[in-house]
Structures are given as C-alpha cells and as structure tokens.
Amino acid sequence: MIDHQTALIYTMVLASVSDAEMTDAEFHRIGHIISNLPVFEGFDRNDLPAAVEKCADLLDDEKGLENAFAIIKKSLPKKLRETAYALACDVVVVDGDVQQEELRLLELARHELAVDRLVAAGIERGASARFATYSPKDDE
C-alpha cells in the first residue's frame, strides 16, 4: 500500500504515460501541482522521481494498468477520488493535444475510481477551461 499523496501521483503518471510518452509539459504540471495543492502539503518533492519510477515499473507488467489502479483504489480515501480524477484531467489537457489513448485512460480512471459521470463531465470541462489558450487568429 502507498500513501494518499503517492496514489494521487500514480494517477497523474498514468494519465501522462497513457499516450506512451510523458511530455515535459506534463512532468512540469505534475511538479507544479505537487508544489501548490494543499493535499500535497508535507510531500517531499525530492521523492517525486522515485514515485514516478515505481509507477512506471508497475506498467511493465502485462496487467500493470490494472494493478496500478488496484493500488490507487486501495490507497486513496474515497474523499480524494474526485481529486485524483481532476488531477488526471489537468495532466491530460496541459499540452493542449488530447489523444484518444488519454481519453480511454480517463474513462478507465472514472470507472475505477467510481466518479459519477456528471461529476466527471464537470471536472473535464473545468480542466479544459483552465488550460484554454487564445490567439487573435482564433477569431478569424
């Protein structure tokens, strides 16, 4: 079993690597989240690389994703499951290019974490709005 902060990190890592690559933007977003959200108070940011590596090691197994979600569910209080989903959404949208694999991972996360469909839609819309960009060319 892992602590709740590490379970949240695992969720973000799964979202990040769902398209087979963790981009710099995604890695920086994870670091920013850990540095700024109250739920990570007391987490030593120097422990982040080890947590990412342990999660990645889980995924090397044939049932890695299933096992990772089992660990997350077991370690994460129900109160933080919507938080985990929201953090996964933030990581997915940060680079502005949401891939089909990432959408499938979010669907799996919603199911595994038992996040209500309407709640998930609201969380997804909020993430999209927070990371929206604008260029005057958008008006053309």
CA geometry: angle at 54 spanning 48 and 60, to 5°? 140
Judge whether residue 23 has pLDDT over 90: no
- For the chain, what percent of residues have pLDDT higher than 70? 99
Mean pLDDT along residues 81-103? 91
CATH code for the part of the protein at 4-139: 1.10.3680.10
pTM of the model: 0.91
Tokens describing residue 10? 């695992």
Half-sphere exposure of 117 (CA within 13 A, CB side): 0
DSSP characters over 2-13: --HHHHHHHHHH
Phi, psi of 63 (to 5 degrees): -105, 30
CA distance 80 to 57: 24
* Domain definitions of the chain by residue range: 4-139
Per-residue pLDDT, 98: 84
